[in-house]
Amino acid sequence: MISLTLHPIDIGAAINQVITPTSGGLNVFIGTTRNHSFAREVKLLEYEAYEPMALHTIEQIEREAREKWPIYGVAIVHRLGRVPVGEASVVIAVSAAHRNEAFEACRFLIDTLKREVPIWKREHFVDGTSEWSGAKPAKKAKLS
């Protein structure tokens, strides 16, 4: 199961999607909106994506994980739109015969997704400002 959604992620459905009778290990990563970023209070995150390319890239990453590890099930769900503090932004569930493969594949999937998938995050702060994640603060001009 690979999907992008504007709605809260059903974590249980993602987990149920990957459980098989042969699975002895199940690993789940849940990325949630935290209430701070570099000492600034966060109100919510907002995600945008180039959806066709994002889905295609996630599918490629899943195929690569399946080539590297003997995994049985994979679910990758990423939220788009506004995600308040405490809610899940991304859920990745992986099942395998053994825990080690499930852990390694899950770590690979989230790390590669964050690095390669065209999904962008904007942080909205309590003070009413916002900025794209990874954006560097503007330098103040010197007055002479």
pLDDT in tens, 4-33: 999 999 999 999 999 999 999 999 999 999
Angle at the Cα of 113 (from 121 to 44), degrees rounded to 5?
25
Cα(113)–Cα(74) distance, integer angstroms: 13
Tokens 């964050």 belong to residue? 114
Q: Give me the pLDDT at residue 5, please.
A: 98
AA identity, residue 98? H
* Model pTM score: 0.89
Cα(139)–Cα(48) distance, integer angstroms: 26
Q: CATH for 2-128?
A: 3.90.1170.40
